[in-house]
A and B are shown apart, each in its own frame.
Chain A
């Protein structure tokens, strides 16, 4: 009884989280040609748009590649840094950890300005490399905060035991520390991915005619009318993810 009562608050929050999602589906089948609820009927042309028009498919592809690459870099670099600061525990390491939060504090447009100048000199404008680096470096703060939080509860004795048994630093990290950090790593990977997937300000500044990520395509007609295809994109992603996670849930239940 108490168990269920304890969860009521949580379920209310989850309902709140899912509320706009439920609206995304009707919006994605609107009969008008701008983001809106359907007025006099439904239309599947936005889904047709998504699956047949090369622009949207290529945008999704570009965004995917960039997001995955920047996620890997950010999680790798950020995790090592968080672990290093955690192990050290000195004033210097605390300062470093705080310093690495600066990319989260500075408004993106200011960074985009500086990045633009540097990329002109390095000839990285409108390139995959250029965007991946920018997204990775601005995602590092997420990783640092979450992995630090995850390290907070790590039982130090486990590491000491490993060292006593003869493991060197690399083995300790890889076989003892990292496995216990899996939830933190997964969370920070998700945030790093979404950060790049949704990032528009830097892309709008740095991209030329070559790079057309998904956010850029969504913001493209902002002065004009917002293409409901973006709602179809969200609907498809939500459905695919939900199905995958539910299948995973059912499979795990079967095992147990």
Chain B
């Protein structure tokens, strides 16, 4: 900022340097705010208003959060499965992103191809591919039985295991790419310096690289967790119908039961819960510092 000041003094205009910065900021965020404001927040506000106007005006729908055991269970199931999915995805993504950053160009390109190709497979085809693989008489069980590793077919699908497996698989590219993008920018000289000063490979990783990769980790974590909250098709098809998550529950309220008050109430609750969680996260971890803002 200080370096920019002399420039401002040399170019007198209507605005001070601070004023020009503020204008620049507003110009940069205006398109997004206007676009999202008109085409997202406006319609969504009208819909979410239904949560306090239907079936009767007031907060009756929100009271269900405390009185309805089924809603409590759905929310708990969703939180649990999304947390598990995110944790597993982050660990696996980190391994791939790390390899992507440190590998030779050829290996790096091959890894990237491996990460990008699954994106072409739509969620329906993926679900059926998993069914073909994980069924009692599916390819995985057949291979395991043939090799003698197991005696009876494993229950790999129609349960939470299948759901988490399917969700992790879908999420991996969304974890890997943001992490890799950020890891690339970590100055390799820092790790080299650490080794030069005598630290072992693990210590260098733990105390130098990992902290530096935190923004990527958190960015990926936020993306994966929030994204997984809205999952519908995978849990329904791979869970045998037993794992009812909040996206499916809301859909039933809106599309079948016409309980729009309850459905929009749950959507509003999700928004508030996530915003609060992100707010808390920014207390624990200084997000501005993390994302390198000046």
Interface residue range, chain B: 35 or more
Contact B274 A105 (CB under 8 A): yes
Instruction: Check A65 for interface membership: any CB of B closer than 8 A.
Output: no
Alpha-carbon separation in the docked complex, A149 to B45 (Å): 29
Task: Write out the residue numbers on chain A whose beta carbons fall within 8 Å of the beta carbon of B227.
Answer: 104
Task: Write out the residue numbers on chain B whose beta carbons fall within 8 Å of the beta carbon of A109.
Answer: 247, 250-251, 254-255, 263
A98 in contact with B275 given A81-B28, A105-B226 (CB within 8 Å): yes
Contact B132 A23 (CB under 8 A): yes
Complex partner residue of B109 from A86, A114, A252, CB under 8 angstroms: A252
Instruction: Check A44 for interface membership: any CB of B closer than 8 A.
Output: no
Contact A256 B105 (CB under 8 A): yes
Instruction: Check A77 for interface membership: any CB of B closer than 8 A.
Output: yes
List B residues at the A interface (Cβ < 8 Å): 3-4, 7, 21, 24-29, 31-33, 35-36, 39-48, 92-93, 95-96, 98-100, 102-103, 105-107, 109-126, 128-130, 132-133, 139, 169, 172-174, 177-178, 180-182, 184-186, 201, 215-216, 219-220, 222-223, 226-227, 229-230, 232, 246-247, 250-251, 254-255, 260, 263-264, 267, 270-271, 274-275, 278-279, 282, 287-288, 290-294
* Apart from A24-B121, A153-B292, A218-B124, 12 more pairs, CB < 8 Å: A9-B92, A19-B133, A36-B128, A77-B35, A106-B44, A137-B35, A145-B219, A150-B185, A151-B291, A187-B178, A226-B124, A245-B109
List A residues at the B interface (Cβ < 8 Å): 2-3, 6-7, 9-11, 13-14, 16-21, 23-24, 26-27, 35-37, 73, 76-78, 80-81, 83-89, 93-94, 96, 98, 100-111, 113-115, 117-118, 133-134, 136-138, 140-142, 144-146, 148-154, 156, 160, 163-164, 166, 169, 183-184, 187, 190-191, 194, 198, 214-215, 218-219, 226, 230-231, 233-234, 237-238, 241-242, 245-246, 248-249, 252-253, 256
